[in-house]
Amino acid sequence: MRIGQLAAQTGFSLRTIRFYEQSGILPTPERTPGGYRSYDQDAVTRLRFVRSAQTLESPPCSYVAELLETHISALDTRLKELTALRDELRARHPLETAPDPARNRSDHVCYLIEDDVSEGDVSEP
């Protein structure tokens, strides 16, 4: 059979069939006296095998979607953690005034990070 008939039977384009021939997937066909490629039934069988192999290698979209969801979830968690940390740091930072040295105790480094801000107003013990 000629290349057009092979293409019709297998669903591959002429260009793809020539590519498979050049790459060795299809053996080089014999030529007719007029120079046309002449394929046998083995070429049909091979190309049908290639077609079925291609369907097995479909894009792994569901896997990619799972990976994206995993990364998004991890980012959401991290954003919540960072937001909580930012809020805690804002609660400890005296925005209106400079830190009050009188509030430091001799056994602490700095009242801003060592006193429990959740207790309300931090005062001298």
| pLDDT for the residue numbered 42 | 95
- What does the pLDDT read at residue 98? 72
Domain ranges of the chain: 3-56, 61-118
pTM over 0.85: no
DSSP assignment of the chain, as one string? Answer: --HHHHHHHH---HHHHHHHHHHTSSPPPEE-TTS-EE--HHHHHHHHHHHHHHHHT---HHHHHHHHHHHHHHHHHHHHHHHHHHHHHHHHS-SSS---GGG--TT-S-HHHHS-GGGSS----
Q: CA 114 to CA 105: how far, in whole Å?
A: 10
**Which pLDDT score is estimated for 64?**
83
Q: What pLDDT does 115 receive?
A: 58
Query: What are the 10-residue block averages of pLDDT along the chain, 125 residues in total?
Result: 95 95 94 93 94 78 87 97 93 72 73 58 43
Any idea which fold 3-56 has?
Multidrug-efflux Transporter Regulator; Chain: A; Domain 2 (1.10.1660)
Dump the DSSP string for 60-88.
Answer: -HHHHHHHHHHHHHHHHHHHHHHHHHHHH
pLDDT on residue 90: 85
